[in-house]
Amino acid sequence: MRSKRKKPNLLAEETILKNKDLEGFKMDIIPPKGRGVRTTIERCKGDFLLAYHGELISGEEGMKREKKSDSVFRYFFFFKGTQWCIDSTLEVDSGQWMGRLVNHGTHREQNCKMRCIEVNQVPKLCLFAIRDIPAGEELLYDYGVADLPWEVCLAF
């Protein structure tokens, strides 16, 4: 009998509490984007993939930081009616917390989606597979931002 896999939200919570990414992902250089993340094993639709780690701050504080210096590593979101920001601008050990390196993909390219879950009453951002993902494929999700500067550059 095949063993049941853990529920994705439970696996996400356990992974966050362990303070380390799941095995089976690698950072790769992906031209022309730069760094990105690939899965080294096949993933199934609905699977938890990676968490987006960083400093949890208010949306207001995130906007203040954006005015001081733009960062593509600040993720703004709403949780229980309040705007929050996870600021992942500061780089940590490259073998850990790869969620910040997952690139934006067009609607047709996307294979994962960012969702907010609650862990110990704190909002956490996590990527989940929206379709089966073969080994070696780059993880891509919609940043939810219109007119990304690098997309304008690639269009010419």
Whole-angstrom Cα distance, residue 71 to residue 9?
Answer: 28
Domain shared by 46 and 61, yes or no? no
* The pLDDT value given to residue 153: 40
Number of domains observed in the structure of the chain: 2
One domain, residues 40 and 102: yes
CATH of the domain at 102: 2.170.270.10
Rg value, the chain, Cα: 16
Same domain, 60 and 38: no
Domain boundary among 34, 65, 91: 91
Question: Do 38 and 109 share a structural domain?
Answer: yes
Residue 86: the pLDDT is 96
Q: Are residues 49 and 60 in the same domain?
A: no
Domain limits at 64?
A: 56-91
Position 97 scores a pLDDT of 83
Q: Does one domain contain both 41 and 27? A: yes
Q: How far is CA 124 from the centre of its chain?
A: 10
- Compute the distance between CA of residue 113 and CA of residue 29 in angstroms, rounded to an integer: 21
pLDDT at 155: 40
Do you find a cis peptide bond into 134, omega within 30 degrees of 0? no
Buried b (16+ CB within 10 A) or exposed e, 114-149: bebbebeeebbbbbbbeeebeeeebbbbeeeeeeee
The pLDDT of residue 32 is: 87
Task: Show pLDDT as tens, one digit a residue, over the chain (156 residues).
Answer: 445 678 999 999 999 999 989 999 999 999 888 999 999 999 999 999 999 999 999 999 999 999 999 888 999 999 999 999 999 998 876 556 899 999 999 889 999 999 999 999 999 999 999 999 999 999 999 987 665 444 444 443
Query: 60 and 46 in one domain?
Result: no
What distances in angstroms separate CA 109 from CA 120, 137, 150, one per listed residue? 33, 11, 16
Same domain, 49 and 61: no
